[in-house]
Structure 1
Amino acid sequence: MPARQTGAEQERLQRYLARAGISSRRSCERLILEGRVSVNGRVVIQLGTKVSPGFDKVTCDGRSVTPSASLVYLILNKPAGVLTTLSDPRGRPVIRDLLPPQGLPRLFPVGRLDYQTEGLVLLTNDGTLAYGLMHPSFEVEKEYLAKVRGCPTPADLVKLKAGVMSKGERLRATQAKIVSRGVGSAWLKLVVHEGRYHEIRRLCDAIGYPVLRLQRVRLGPIVLGKLPKGYWRRLSPVELTSMRRAVERSHTCGDQ
């Protein structure tokens, strides 16, 4: 094992892997527990293991892992009919198809939108920020616009905010209001914190108004705005700072 420089800064192995763009921090924890990560030639399965960047040699599945010196943050307006993943064995369209083939490091999506859901997807190689945005305990807001069949009553909206049961889980929206009404349908604004599987669709199904169209328009302080479908842009420094503050604030509140 190579000698470690005195005073070398150390960090947890799962964070190191996430910074390298391997995956989210939670997924990196699974890689460690599965015995797929080695430090200086030795397989490591303890999540508390720390490494010194630049001194320890880290490999995952036999390949060397080195964090990128440059962290990248993009938002993309995902169209319906595109998978929130980087590849698909069935050959369906994926978000990687919407990015340039060269010029960007390996990025991964923060959370997922289902196949038919449109809207804001954040892509980054910053595993630490991704973990904070995805973990339910941080309670970062996700805002959606949902077109539903029928027009919910004020009492229905109260139910959404009070909480409904769906497949043995209690789901609730922190905000629920009607944005507009049409013939046989309505657009709702719904805000949730946890981001459970198909949460918005299940919420609306539970009160008898199935979703016809769904779009995520905000993640924490980041707003989709007028970004066209299928296009992406980099986060501005102001947006990145506000996102980090939102995660830190949510984490602090959660510890109280």
Structure 2
Amino acid sequence: MSPRPPRSPAGNSRASKPGARARSAPRASASTARPAPTAGRASDKPGDRIAKLLARAGVASRREIERMIADGRIALNGEVLETPATILTSLAGVTVDGKPVAAPEAPRLFLFHKPQGLLTAERDPKGRPTIYNALRNALPPGTPRLMPIGRLDLNTEGLLLLTNDGELKRAMELPANGIPRTYRARAFGDISQAELETLIEGVTIDGVNYGRIDANLERRTGRNQWIEMTLTEGKNREVRRVLEHLGLKVSRLMRLSYGPFALGDLPRGQASEVRQKDLEQFRRHIATRGGWR
């Protein structure tokens, strides 16, 4: 069996409910919504795109921020922005849904033991419970708004990482960075270790290419077996689809680790914050090596 990534120590720092968004501010008409004079483009001024700055401040991911701009929810000095290409040196004068954006906090990272039956989403049109329902009780007061790093589907349990920093979220989700995720699956059917080892070269299923997967048969009871799998892409329902392709039916799936951060003995439904020194060490590792090596 391949070695399991080491568990990162987690301290008891202060933490809270993810912040709720305010009501959308009235959208300006196309004739009045002009770019503010203090905004520029990459070729004109130094600075960063507004989506990058807002992601760093923990408002949302870059892609979500681009959608928010398209919906007229973000303004600068009272003028509704029309393009995510706006370049700024700070978030002074920027509002989201009519509320000023607070200065970015230091990046923080939390481990959450997600139970089955929770959606990895902020809200659900069907009214099903989400991770944020559980996080209200799992996080101490004072935690900034948190975003999930990757997703676990409704019936998958285990380690879910959450951060207030959009850049950290993006770096950890980026397939090019090759950050390993380890899962344990209980599956019904017949499979051999030799068959599992063919996944080390990747596999194509219904036109979708899945990269290298390190899979090990842990134990077998009758036709039920526990299989540990480590992968780096994290495509939608990847573990389930690969095992179903091999003729197995998954009855339970748990994520054990993500990079160096491990679920360990964290109780179901509880959260714990990664110590700042461990987070900074991980960020330096990714920045200096250009990914997970």
| TM-score in terms of structure 2 length | 0.76
Aligned to 2:205: 166
Structure 1 distance, partners of 2:38, 2:130, is 44
Deviations 1:22-53 (A, max 9, x none): 21223223434555433233444444432122
Pick 1 or 2: higher relative contact order, CA cutoff 8 A, min separation 6: 2
Deviation string, structure 1 residues 51-104 (Cα, Å, up to 9, x no partner): 1226x3112343322234344321100011111123223332221122236432
2:19 aligned partner: none
In the alignment, is the contact (CA less than 8 A) between 1:150 and 1:209 conserved in 2?
Answer: yes
Aligned to 2:243: 204
Question: Following the alignment from structure 2 to structure 1, what is the Cα–Cα distance between the partners of residues 267 and 292?
Answer: 35
**Aligned equivalent of 2:101:** 65
Unpaired segments of 5 or more residues in structure 1?
Answer: none
Tell me how far apart the structure 2 counterparts of residues 252 and 141 of structure 1 sit (CA, whole Å): 11
Q: Is the 8 A contact 1:76 1:231 kept in 2?
A: yes
Q: Is the 8 A contact 1:19 1:67 kept in 2?
A: no
Letter in 2 for 1:149: F
2:125 counterpart letter in structure 1: P
The answer (yes or no) to whether the contact 2:211–2:233 under 8 Å persists in 1 is no
Q: Distance in 2 between matches of 1:35 and 1:92?
A: 28
- Helix, strand or coil at the partner of 1:121: strand
Query: Partner of 1:89 in structure 2?
Result: 125
- Aligned pair count reads 250
- Residues 235-244 or 25-34, more deviating: 25-34
Name whichever of 35-44 and 108-117 sits farther off.
35-44
Cα gap change, 1:216 to 1:253, in 2 (>3 Å): closer
2:112 and 2:161 in contact (8 A); partners too: yes
Distance 1:95 1:164, change over 3 A: same
For 1:214-255, what per-residue CA distance to the aligned partner results, in whole angstroms no more than 9, with x for missing partners? 11111111111110111110112343134313432563579x
- 2:101 maps to a residue whose letter is V
- 1:166 CA drift (Å): 2.0
Query: 1 CA distance for matches of 2:227 and 2:196?
Result: 9
RMSD after superposition: 2.7
Conserved? CA contact 1:19–1:126, under 8 Å: yes
1:127 aligned onto 2:166: yes
AA partner of residue 248 (structure 2): Y
Identity of aligned residues (%): 36
Unaligned runs of 5+ in 2: 1-35, 40-45
Task: Show the counterpart of 1:178.
Answer: 217
Higher deviation after alignment, 190-199 or 158-167: 158-167
Equivalent in 218, 221, 233 of residue 260 of structure 2: 221
- TM-score after normalising by structure 1: 0.85
| 1:252 to 1:106, Cα distance in 2 relative to 1, 3 A | closer
**Does 2:49 correspond to 1:12?**
yes
Give 1:137's aligned residue: 176
Contact 2:108 2:276 (C-alpha < 8 Å) held by counterparts: no
Verify the 8 A CA contact 1:176 1:188 in the aligned structure 2. yes
